[in-house]
Amino acid sequence: MIFDVLKNTADKFPNKVFLKEVKREVTYVQIRDMAISVAKDLPSSGRVYFYHRDGVELFAFLFAANLRGLEICLLNRQEGVSEAQNKINSLGGGGYVVTDFLGEGLNCMCRPKCESIGGGVLHRGGDSGLIIYTTGTTGAPKAVSYSWNRLLSQVRLSESEKHANWLLAYPLNHFAGVQMFVHALCNGAALTIPQGRGVSDVLSAFRGCAVSAISATPTFWRMFLGRLSDADKVDLRDTLKRITLGGEAATEDILARLRTIFPLASITHVYATTELGSCFSVKDGYPGFPTEYLNRKVGHVELKIVNSELFVKTEKSMNGYLGERERPDVLAGGWVGTGDLVEISGERVFFLGRKSEAFNVGGIKVFPPKVEAVILGVAGVETVRVYARKNPITGLVVAAEVQVLPGFDHGSVLRSIKQQCRAQLGRYEQPISISLVPSIERANEKIVRRNL
C-alpha cells in the first residue's frame, strides 16, 4: 500500500524531494531504492516493531516492511526500553524489532543497515496494516489497529499540495504523525523531519529546510510562539503558508494570536481521533464548528449529538483496539461516541471537553477546557492545566497550574487570572488554587490530564 504510493510518486516525479532533514534531503526515488535495499534485512512474514528515532532511515524501513507485507507497530521512542518491551509483550511478543537503540534490555532482532545493497525482494502486496498507540493523555495508551487502505483513503488530495513542505511536528509514533506522513506521501509533498521538537530544533528546520506548512497542537503553538523573538516572527511570516491545529480543541486565544502573527497563512483546525481517524476540518478561523455540519455529510463523516456527546459515523475508522476488551460507545447504525462533550451556542458547536475529564464540584459539572480557555485569554499566560483536587467540603474543587511567559510579572498575571475567572466563570468553575509552575507535563505536545 504505502510502498505502492511511494513507487508511483517516484515514477511520476523522479527528482521530487520527499524527506528533508537540516543537513540532508532525499527524493522519492532515493527512498524507494533505500526501502528495496533494506527490505532483505527484514523477515518474510509477521509483525515488525519500530522503536526508532524519526529520520530518513525509519521511513526507509517502514516502506521496506510494507513492501515485504509485514504488519507494522510503531512504538514511542521517547519511552524507556522496558516500556517498549512491555508493549511488545502485551501484544503477544515475538516479531522483529527495528531500532536505533544500542543499549541492553530490548529483545532486538534487527538493526538498521541502510547502507547495505540488496535486490530481488519479493513484493507480497496486500494490506498488512499498522498498529499505533493512542496518546494516553487521559489514560493508559491503547493499541489501535488500522489498515493502510483506510488511512490512505482519509487523505484529502490537492494539486497545490505537491509544492508544500510540511514540518513533521508530531513524532511518527503518534497518530497525527502518521496522518502527516501519509498526507505528504499521497500528495507528493515534502516532509521535513526536525532533529527534535524544541523551539530551536523547529526553528532550525524552518530556516534550513524552507518549511511552508505545519500541523501541530495548540499547546505546541503556545509554547513555540512564546519563545519566538520579533525577528523570528518576521522571518516565519513570509514563509509559512499553512497552519493546521489538531489534537486538542483550538481556542480563541491561539487562533487570534496565529492570525495576528501569520496574517498570510491559512489557518485550519482539524477534528481527528486515533480511533476514528481524520473526521473534519474548520477553516473559518473560529473555535468549534458550524452547526450546519450536523445536517449533512462532511467529507466522509456524519456527525450528531447525543446527550451532549459528539457521535461520528465513518467507514474509515480503526479496525479495533488490540489486547483490550474496551470498545468505543457504539450506537445502532454505526454511530461511534467520541467521548467529546459539546454544546450548541447560536450557529456554532463548541467543545466542552472529554466526558472522562469532566468532574463535579458540589454536584455541578465542570469542564476543564472551559476554565482553561478563560485563563489562556489572559496576557502573559503561556499554557495551563486545570484539574480536580480533592476537597472535604465539595468533594472536588478546581485547581490550575499556569506557566507564565518569560518577561511577565507573576503577581500581575495571577491577579488578572483571578479577575477574568471571576468575570467569566461560575463560582464552582473558578480555580480555588492557582499555582504558577516552571513547566507543565506534556505528552506528544498535548497537556497530560490527570486529576490529583
Partner 1 sequence: MKNISTRIKKIVREILEEKGLKCEHLREDQVLYESGLGLDSMDTAALSAALEQEFGNDPFMAGKFPKTISDIIEFYAVDLKK
Contact residues toward partner 1 (CB under 8 A) are: 361-362, 389, 391-394, 397, 399, 418, 422, 427-428, 432-433
> How many angstroms separate the CA atoms of 9 and 16, rounded?
9
Q: Closest CB to partner 1 among 155 and 432?
A: 432
- Under DSSP, the state recorded for 208 is H
CB of 146 to partner 1, least distance (A): 44
Which three cell numbers mark 376?
489562556
CA 248 – CA 253 distance, rounded (Å): 13
The CA-based angle 4-160-58, given to 5 degrees, is: 40
- Cα first-last separation, the chain: 45
Minimum CB distance to partner 1 smaller for 348 or for 389:
389
Minimum CB separation of residue 364 from partner 1 in Å reads 10
Least distance CB 372 / partner 1 (angstroms): 19
Burial of 398 (0-12, 13-18, 19+ CB in 10 A): buried
Helix or strand or coil: residue 218? helix
Nearer Cβ to partner 1 (257/389): 389
Looking at the Cβ atoms of 221 and 359, the one nearer to partner 1 is: 359
Q: Which residues contact 65 (CB under 8 A, 6 or more apart)?
A: 39, 42, 48, 72, 98
Which residues are paired to 405 by β-bridges? Answer: none
User: Closest CB to partner 1 among 397 and 402?
Assistant: 397
- Kindly write down the DSSP assignment for every residue of 242-296, as one continuous string: EEEE-SSPPPHHHHHHHHHH-TTSEEEEEEEETTTEEEEEE-SSSSSEEGGGGGS
Judging by DSSP bridges, how do beta strands 348-354 and 359-361 pair with one another?
unpaired
Shortest distance, position 374 Cβ to partner 1, whole Å: 16
Name the minimum Å distance from CB 71 to partner 1. 50
Quick one: 291 or 416, whose CB is closer to partner 1? 416
Shortest CB 382 distance to partner 1, Å: 22
What is the C-alpha separation between 439 and 403, in angstroms, rounded?
A: 6
Q: How far is the CB of 411 from partner 1 (least distance, A)?
A: 14
Nearer to partner 1, 124 or 427 (CB): 427
Smallest distance, partner 1 to C-beta of residue 366, A: 12
CB of 413 to partner 1, least distance (A): 17
In the bound state with partner 1, the residue whose beta carbon lies nearer, of 157 and 364, is 364
Angle between helical axes of 252-261 and 218-227 (0-180°, round to 10): 50
**321 or 428: CB nearest partner 1:** 428
- One-letter amino acid of 185: L
- How many CB atoms within 10 Å of residue 78? 12
Q: Which of 207, 175, 350 is nearest to 269 (CA)?
A: 350
